[in-house]
Amino acid sequence: MKNYKITVAYDGTKYNGWQKQGNTQNTIQEKFESILGKMTGQKIEVHGSGRTDKGVHAKGQVVSFKLKSDFEDEEILEYINRYLPEDISALDICEMDERFHARLSAKRKTYVYRIWNSPIHNAFEHRFLYTVEDELDIERMQKTAENFLGEHDFLGFSSVKKTKKSTVRTIYRAKVERCGNEIKFIVTANGFLYNMVRIMAGTVLEAGLSKRESDSVFEVFETKDRNLAGATLPGKGLSLLSVEYRD
């Protein structure tokens, strides 16, 4: 039994997220398991580093799976790409030790939320951008982003209702960049809760629109009250950039 790691990129626009679901086959995970099953004649379980939601994209999603085969690595990669739809790509493949798991072995993940700040829509990249026409205060947005840094309880910045698992996460990087009409909110952490990045981005955006103060972040940390955080921005602006497996 061999254990493989694949880096995957996809445009999530028309998919119901990464994770397979009982009521649809229109998920990224389902596509990979179906193709690998046809290739090997085996029932293959594929694990992703994160469960990206409906409409969310990835440039560096990581996938792991185990299978019994005599295929060379490049043969597997070539077969997968031959049958994947054109909006999903398997970028590389390598064999890992048997303990490697795309999600459980991950140390850090980096996401970007992209905002198009102009009354003129971006005709070519609109599927990957959330458009905001009003002028934004980048300095206020950056100050808000910096307040996320460090170890905090992010329950109030998530859609998690009740859980026995820890909702404490460590943010290593949180910054706002502007290049022309595009604004990027980039965040790196040791893990993320359900909708956490989209709510953080919504909070940063509201600060940029002068609808909240930058230090309002700390009140959410203290109270864990989801109602005090920003809106959950649409999935279309969010992309998983990379996953790291070394400290």
Residues with active-site annotation = 53
What would the DSSP string read from start to end of 116-152? E-SSS--TTTGGG-EE--S---HHHHHHHHHTT-EEE
Q: Name the token pair of 62.
A: 């990581």
Judge whether 196 and 129 are in contact, CB under 8 Å: no
Judge whether 226 and 159 are in contact, CB under 8 Å: yes
Q: What is the distance between the terminal CA atoms of the chain, rounded to a whole angstrom?
A: 27
The CA distance from 153 to 147, in Å, is: 13
